[in-house]
Amino acid sequence: MPWPHTVTLDGATTTLLDPGRVTIEAEDTLRDARQWLQDRLTRLAGATTPAGDPPPLRIVLLIGQAPRDVPAAGGVAPQEVAQDERHTVTITPGEVTVTGACPQAVLRGAATLVQLAECSEGRLPTGRIADGPALAWRGLMLDVVRHPFTLEEIRRVIDLLTRYKLNVLHLHLTDTQGWRLQSRSRPKLNATSPGELITRGDLDALTAFAAARGVTIVPEIDLPGHSLAAVRAYPRLTLGGAAARLGYVDPSAPEAEAFLRQTVTEFARASTGRFVHVGGDEPFGMPHQAYARAVGATVAAAHRAGRQVVGWQETVRTGALGPDDIVQLWIGAETSIDADAKKAQLPPAAHPFVDQMVDLFALAPSDGPAAAAAGLPVLLSSSDVLYLDRPYAEPAADAEGEARRARLGFRDYPAKTLREMFDWTPRSLVSGLDVRIAGVEAAIWTETITGFDDLAFLLLPRLPAAAERAWTQQRTSWEDHRARLGPHARAWRATGWGAAFRPKDLSPTRMTTQADT
């Protein structure tokens, strides 16, 4: 999982696998893929014990030609140089060969081999798998502000992305609640961090860790809204009034434009990929002219620092994005606001801002067409199916899961079943639009999360569904996906993700080979 492009496996002819008795041969350029594969097989040793005394299995990792029967990926690559991730896994008695067009492609093939090993019960089916992604950008947005995940926890998320062939970790590093990434230009921001401050050295180490696992980190600085922590640290970012109360950076304030320029430049230079994310969502309370001016300043600063921009979809309304930037569409078609209910929760002075909130969301259906008209690629993150902080609709398998299900998830989003979160395609999310799809990115916001196990509960088993939609070029069925999902729960328990949601009706089953059915 994700399901490969071409699968020709023969379950009647197998080769024995003892994860503790393998030899891995690889050239030096593949040392990261070799190490990742070795680590995963070492974890499996003892958990998978074939009958008898099988001989060592020889695994060969090779750089070679991309498989010709797999189309090249579409979309926009997160790196400066696009990676051809197409690869082949060939299994014969006593030997497995993983061949890819580049080291990242070989790593993707190694991930397939690990999943086969986990589900094989000591026997690998022989044959060939040829595979490659549908889209070049396949990501997860992780909010590390509302819940300040530690560096070790972020590394565990990166390993999960590698397992499911996702290649972008979008780190949401600033928000109303604080500023996680160390700022050298504005040191008062560092005191606002809601948890462990992530230093530039920390981010560099995370970036290297991720790169070795085929993952690009895209840092996000969320401006000009969602900035109450910054406004409190630097009151001269507003002229008082609504900007100070609502927490947005007012570009007409004395320090605002310098602040926007300096902090965005820091984030851009902290990124080693092509892109930096400049936020731009939910500019509640901001006059449009002020919002457009602020977004223009953030985009210009990123460009001057040598980075292209990803912005939440509201930024397309400003006309500030350049032809190589990306619009991230997040407001799902089902998004609506009950203005009366919101007003009932707020003092009368805030009611005009509720009306403005309604007006801003009412503009959302025009954002995709605006991106298409401007020739801007779109990154698909529809809250309808890709916001993984949505509550679960089906009951959990046990009382602990039911207690978590009652507590977790953003309640403005109606609960959905696993099938509903799977039953879409990238093209269906932009139906009727002549727009270039950059990729797919799931998102996990952490307002309700209190620890890592809560994250596991909300991410799994929904993240593999998002990964399959971004990677697999043909459409897979829910029934097949569900059958293949079962064995993964064992791997989650073995790798620290055991708090994953378990619905009553998802029992472990053996992985099926779709091509043989």
- Which residue numbers are catalytic? 282
| 3-state helix/strand/coil string of 230-244 | HHHHCHHHCCCHHHH
Interhelix angle 452-459/151-163, rounded to 10 degrees, is 20
Antiparallel, parallel or unpaired: β 174-175 and 168-172:
unpaired
**How many angstroms separate the CA atoms of 141 and 387, rounded?**
9
* Three-class secondary structure of residue 11 per DSSP: strand
- Tell me how far apart the alpha carbons of residues 95 and 17 are, in angstroms, rounded to a whole number: 10
Q: How far apart are CA 63 and CA 88, in angstroms?
A: 10
How big is the CA angle at 411 (ends 341 and 459), to the nearest 5 degrees?
160
* CB-based contacts of 107, cutoff 8 Å, min separation 6: 32, 33, 36, 100, 162, 213, 214
What tokens does 364 get?
A: 């959302």
252-279: buried (b, 16+ CB within 10 Å) or exposed (e) per residue? ebeebbebbbebbbbbbebbbbbbbbbb
CA distance 306 to 267: 11
Please enumerate in sequence order all residues whose Cβ is within 8 A of that of 281, keeping only pairs 6 or more positions apart, or say none: 222, 225, 226, 312, 313, 314, 330
